[in-house]
Structure formats: structure tokens, C-alpha cells
Amino acid sequence: MSDQRSSVFQTTINNKISFSGVGIHNGKAVNMNLFPAAVDNGIIFKRIDLEKNNEIKVSFDNVIKSRFCSKIKNNSNVFISTLEHLMASLNGLSIDNLIVEIDSNELPAMDGSAYEYTSKILETGVKIQNKPKKFLKINKEVSVNLGERWIKILPSNELMINLEIDYPNTLIGNDTINYTYNKDSFVEDICYARTFTLLNNVEKLRASGFGIGGNLNNAIVVDKYHLVNNTGLRSKNEFIKHKVLDCLGDIYLSGFQILGKIHSFSPGHELNFHLLKEIFKSESNYEIITMTLLQDTCYYDDRNNLPNFNVA
């Protein structure tokens, strides 16, 4: 019964979870605590380094465009950035209600993936709450083009993400993935995929104020056909799996788990933002539903299926 209930009823975490690290872009030390929350609370970030107007609710109304990360702000222009990996974990593990207290404007990078977030949530466990969760179901095709890059979403009874990346003359190369969301596949195949960049882009990023806290412990760095990290890849298609991870995190900023089929060429945060913007332009594009059963779901309260990586 818990397998089905965790898919269609709202959930939160069992106990407080703590994280600390540095922001990958601002390079500042940061401490973050996750707390259980009541039904219909949603996911709320609280900037405890500020005394007032410091709460930001995860909702499409609060999402703002950002090229190298996801970002939300409230009506007082208080913002929080680089949410995508935590949001991917929450989406992947189907967590609805949470309070996140944080003492900086950027989340900790951890190992550059959602692995540590996912691991601690599974260790703490998930509490099933006594109220149905709501899903955003796509009713018709919605698409966005940015030059040669594009993204679209079509109606579906589940979440599918089909991506293509193309980094010519590099180790990354051209790759495709057809991913169908469920908790098993997220935990086993997606959560560990780390963020990546090209070595010749590092200085450009830092000159623009990004990647200040980036290092080989929280990002994969590629120098043409060589990997700068001496730890190697966690899977042969880790690069494109990270794009799936980012997509899962970015679309959960809608405030809902989405039922639809996403296709994208050269995906990224900016495209994901514009897709959400187009979806919410018209209420005819979607409907908010509750469900009695989702196919191929599983409730996790331990880490038996989590791959083992050394992230110390």
C-alpha cells in the first residue's frame, strides 16, 4: 500500500536534514537545513541570513531567468539560486512539502550532483501525508526555440524526457537519452550525474561572476578529448544524464510534478525556464489533477538501490 500512497498522496521528510558546503557560483560557505512541513505547504526557502521578507515559495510566479543555474525570488527581490540539484532530488523522490532554511543566497554545490541530497533524504525517510497531491498535466504541445536550440513538451500520462546534446570536438560529443521518470530510475541512474564544463570556458565563467566556487570536487571539467578529473566518469553517459537531472529540477520549480513528454536539443536552464513560461501563458496548455494510481512507482525509505560513490 505504501508504494501507491507515496505516489498519489503528498509527502514530506521524517526529520530535519542538514547540509553545508560552498556555492558553486558565488564561492561562499553556506549551511542549509531541510525541515518537514504540513500538507499544502509546498516547498519554501527561508533566507535566515536576512531578518525580514526572507521567504521564497517554489512557484512558477517566482521563477526568474538565469543562464547558468535556476533562480527564484519573492516580491521583495530576495532571491535564492542554484536550486536545481535539490529540486531534482525532491522531484525524483516525489517530496511535496518542505521548509528549507539557508544562510546564503546560493545552495551548496555538494559533489555537483543530487547524490548527497538524495542519499540523506532516503536515509531520513519519507512521510506520507493524508491528502492527495496535485499534478500538472500537459494538454497540448508547447514549444520554444532559441536559435538552433529548442525544447517542447507534449501530452503524456507520465513524465518522459528525451534529450540530445552536441559538443563537437570534445570528449562529450553527441549523445541522446530517452528517459522515463520513476523513483527507481532516478535513484539508480540519474541522481549521481555531476555538472560539467569545458576547461576553455572556466575563465570566461569566472570573469562573468559564475563558477567562483567550482572545483574538481563539485564539477566535471573536460579539456577537449580528455577528462581533467582523475576520478573518471560515474557512467559513460554521465554528461547527458546531468541534463536530465537539471531538467527534473527546473521543471519542479513550477510547484507541481509534471506529466508530459519533453524533447529538447541542446537543453539548459534558460530553455527550461522559457518552456515553463510558455506552459503557464495559457491555462488551456495544462490542467491540475489528482490521481488514484501512477504506474511504475516505488516508495523508498532506505538506500539499498543507491549507487555507491565516494563523495567525502
Q: What is the pLDDT of residue 309?
A: 60
State how many domains the chain has: 1
**Count of H-run helices and E-run strands, the chain:** 7, 19
Residue 105 has which C-alpha cell? 543566497
Instruction: Determine the pLDDT at residue 296.
Output: 38
Residue 76 located in a structural domain: yes
Whether residue 193 is contained in a domain is answered as yes
- Residue 88 main-chain phi, psi, to 5 deg: -65, -40
Q: What is the rounded distance in angstroms from the CA atom of residue 108 to the CA atom of residue 270?
A: 21
| Host domain of residue 182 | 2-288
pLDDT recorded at residue 303: 47
Is 308 within a domain? Answer: no
Domain at 109, CATH number: 3.30.1700.10
Residue type, 56: I
| Cα diameter, the chain | 53
Q: What is the DSSP string of 92-116?
A: HTT---EEEEESSSB---TTSSSHH
Task: Report pLDDT for 300.
Answer: 37
Nearest-angstrom CA–CA distance, 273 and 270: 5
- 182: which 3 cell numbers? 520513476
Domain-located, residue 112: yes
Residue 282 placed within a domain? yes
Phi-psi region of 77 (alpha: psi -120 to 50; beta: other; left: phi over 0): left
Residue 184 lies in a domain: yes
Q: Does any domain span residue 303?
A: no
Cell 559538443, residue located = 167
pLDDT (tens place) for every residue of the chain, 312 residues total? 344 555 799 999 999 999 999 999 888 999 999 999 999 999 999 999 999 999 999 999 999 988 789 999 999 999 999 999 999 999 999 999 999 999 999 999 999 999 999 999 999 999 999 999 999 999 999 999 999 999 999 999 999 999 999 999 999 999 999 999 999 999 999 999 999 999 998 888 888 777 888 999 999 999 999 999 999 999 999 999 999 999 999 999 999 999 999 999 999 999 999 999 999 999 999 999 998 654 433 333 344 566 766 554
Provide the annotated active-site residues: 269
The pLDDT of residue 114 is 98
- What confidence score (pLDDT) does residue 310 get? 59
Residue 59 lies in a domain: yes
Q: How far apart are CA 130 and CA 308, in angstroms?
A: 33
- What the block records as the C-alpha cell of 282 is 495559457
